[in-house]
Structure 1
Amino acid sequence: MKRLTLLTAALALSGLANFAQAKTLETVASFTVIADMVHNVGGDHVHVTSLIGPNGDPHVYEPTPNDAQALKKADVVFVSGLHLEGWLDRLITASGYKGEPVVLSNGIMTRSMEEDGKKITDPHAWNSAVNGIVYVRNIIKALQKADPENAADYKANGDKYIAQLQDMDAYARAQINAIPVAQRKVLTSHDAFGYFGDAYGVTFLSPLGFSTETEASAADVGKLITQIKHEHVSAYFFENSGDPRLVQQIAKASGAHPGGELYVESLSPADGPAPTYVKMFRYNVDKMTAAMKGQ
């Protein structure tokens, strides 16, 4: 009986040890698109907190005390980078987080534009599926470094997810290539689809620059209306995280018709049409191609 008791105790201690080893990695993502990517790669090994929730705007976000608490407890912090999360440095200082955030846009070919006489880098890199794959590879490396014991799982999950993004990229190319080049023109609220346009051959026009913090002058709006009429841009979209009023005014003046809502910088709530990165991307492709076809 004594021997059986000792064996039972040893098994119980072994179980506790295994439980201790299976600690969930606490991760923080700056916004929902990144949070979904981390969840897909990390699986059950990670707990993901998104600082910005569904339909949030990362350009003008104001961090909360809860964000500082989440950051302080984090094992790994993921950001997109390219100056998108301008509020993050202040939050890191306030939280006491000692690590270096993982910048997921490292390794992509960036694009830029002239804005108010300055060269500005476009931060919306995830709107190309090929760039999304770069983000995922960076997530795999970061999780493997933080949690080497589960490195094989992160690799397997990441490879499976990358295959989904490759299928998504092929789907976008097939759908858009079926549309004549002259019809591939869309009006959006701000210049957030540049990487998408470069990758898939779509021309985007917008009254605002890379950030929703910028303001369009009356002269710029007038030029845009003239351009839309001249280039026969037939459809306009507003964005789930932005104010639709300006683009609606331009559309009314130019004769463009509503194409619906696009998800560009954040996912929808779970019961919406774009609750994951893959669903968001496909939803945007389907909405834009329908509008460009005049449906």
Structure 2
Amino acid sequence: MLIRLTALAILAVTLMPSLGWAADDLARRPVIVCSTTQIADFARQVVGDRMEVHSVLAAGQDPHLYEKKPGDAQLVSTADLCLENGWHLEGNDWMRKLAEQTGRPLVTCVDGCNPLEVPGVDQAMDDPHAWFSCTNAATYVRNIRNAVIELDPEHANEYRSRAALYLDQLRALNNWIVREISKIPVEERVLVTSHDAFNYFCQAYGLKPATPVGWSTGNEVGAGISPQRRHDTIESIREHGVKAIFVETSVNPTMVRQIAREAGVRIGGELYSDSMGAPGTAGETYLGMMRENVITIVEALK
């Protein structure tokens, strides 16, 4: 018996280095670093537990105003793949600069989407808020799927399967949104929010957007409120008999509340816009964010 135990002990000691190496190898998952919470959610839906997914932005943060922090470069330097929205959603292209600074590969998720144009100082700009159309969200997911398959071709079938399921969920979400928005009288389908984040949503689902601020809440091209835009927003509210207007989770609500008082309408609720909700909230995923936004809009305007 003693001889047998001794032999087993020797075998265990002999195998320990190889077993330890295997454990380390399994723990060394590829890392994806995303600029926004929406993109991070899309990535998690595709990769499951095969990869670590991190978001530079936290819930409720504004990508237009975000300023790089010392720890961001360190986080991005660990990435096997970086994902950005693109079309200058990330104010002054901070995610692209982080990837270039650290020499990490970068995929732009809006590639393949058909852009809406918004006014700029010198020329029209591509509106970066493309994810608010479920059709565009599907393009984001396909871009991410293709990128992770290139990164880890061994598990390509897993990534295709997860992406296919999620694309089915996006199609179901799209159909549900169409049905819900139909509950609002056509003449009252005017969506007034803090800034031009919902143009794709309005185009896809038959609403008219009206905002006092351009596509960006920051100081780069396209940002800013003018007296004329403010006036036009208030006139649109009065002309269409808008019942309610909305604040956004990632934008200071002060201006919208002032416009509501001036136009004599109520605040219909808070919408997730450039960022999703915090963990544990109904808006912590893209599907949840879109669902809660639609419920809030329909309840306020119907």
TM-score, length of structure 2 as denominator length: 0.89
Corresponding residue number in structure 1 for 2:175: 170
187-196 vs 100-109, which deviates more? 100-109
Local SS of the residue matching 2:176:
helix
Residue number in structure 2 paired with 1:68: 73
The Cα shift of 1:145 comes to 0.6
| Aligned residue in 1 for 2:258 | 249
CA shift in 2, pair 1:285/1:164, >3 Å:
same
- What is the rounded CA distance, in whole Å, between the counterparts of 2:54 and 2:202 in structure 1? 30
User: Contact between 1:238 and 1:261, CA under 8 Å: does it hold in 2?
Assistant: yes
Matched with 1:209 is 214
The separation in 2 between residues aligned to 1:220 and 1:270, in whole angstroms, is 35
Partner Cα distance (2:204, 2:244) in 1: 20
2:97 to 90, 95, 114: 90
CA distance in 2, matches of 1:149, 1:16: 20
RMSD between aligned alpha carbons?
2.1
Q: Taking structure 1 as reference, are residues 18 and 270 closer, same or farther at Cα in structure 2, changes over 3 Å only? A: closer
| Whole-angstrom CA distance in 2 between matches of 1:231 and 1:178 | 17
The structure 1 residue matched to 2:152, chosen from 137, 147, 151, is 147
The residue correspondences of 1:83-232 to structure 2 (distance < 5 A) are 83-85=88-90, 86-93=93-100, 96-213=101-218, 214-232=223-241
Separation (CA, whole Å) in 2 of partners of 1:12 and 1:160: 40
Unmatched runs of 5 consecutive residues or more in structure 1: none
Give TM-score scaled by structure 1 length. Answer: 0.91
Is this contact kept in 1: 2:84–2:96, CA < 8 A? no
Report the identity percentage: 36
The residue that corresponds to 1:234 in the other structure is 243
State the Cα distance separating 1:243 from its structure 2 match.
1.0
Q: Which moved more, 1:18-27 or 1:194-203?
A: 18-27
Cα separation, 2, equivalents of 1:158 and 1:7: 44
Q: Which moved more, 1:195-204 or 1:106-115?
A: 106-115
Inter-partner Cα distance in structure 2 for 1:63 and 1:124: 21
Q: For 1:29 and 1:139, how far apart are their aligned partners in 2?
A: 11
SS of structure 1 residue aligned to 2:39: helix
Spell out structure 1 runs of 4+ moving beyond 6 A.
2-8
State the alpha-carbon separation in 2 of the partners of residues 210 and 220 from structure 1: 12
**Residue 15 of structure 1, CA deviation:** 8.1
2:59 and 2:27 mapped to 1: Cα distance?
30
Q: 1:108 to 1:6 in 2, by over 3 A?
A: farther
Corresponding residue of 2:49: 44
In the alignment, residue 67 of structure 2 is paired with which amino acid?
A: E
Q: Per-residue deviation at 1:10?
A: 6.2
Instruction: Give the one of 271, 277, 286 matched to 1:277.
Output: 286
d(CA) in 1 for partners of 2:232, 2:178: 31
- Among 26, 34, 42, the residue aligned to 1:29: 34
Amino acid at match of 1:252: R
- Opposite residue 217 of structure 1, the aligned amino acid is S
Cα distance in 2 for residues equivalent to 1:19 and 1:163: 36
1:21, CA displacement in angstroms?
A: 5.5
How many residues in Structure 1 have an aligned counterpart in Structure 2?
A: 291
Unaligned runs of 5+ in 2: none
SS in 2 for 1:27: strand
Paired amino acid for 1:231: H
Contact 1:126 1:132 in 2 (8 A): yes
| 1:144–1:15 Cα change, 3 Å | farther
Moved more, 48-57 or 152-161: 152-161
**Residues 102-133 of structure 1 deviation map (CA, whole Å, 9 limit, x = unaligned):** 11111111110223352011000001111111
Whether the aligned pair in 2 keeps the contact of 1:186 and 1:236 (CA below 8 Å) is: yes
1:195 alignment partner AA: Y
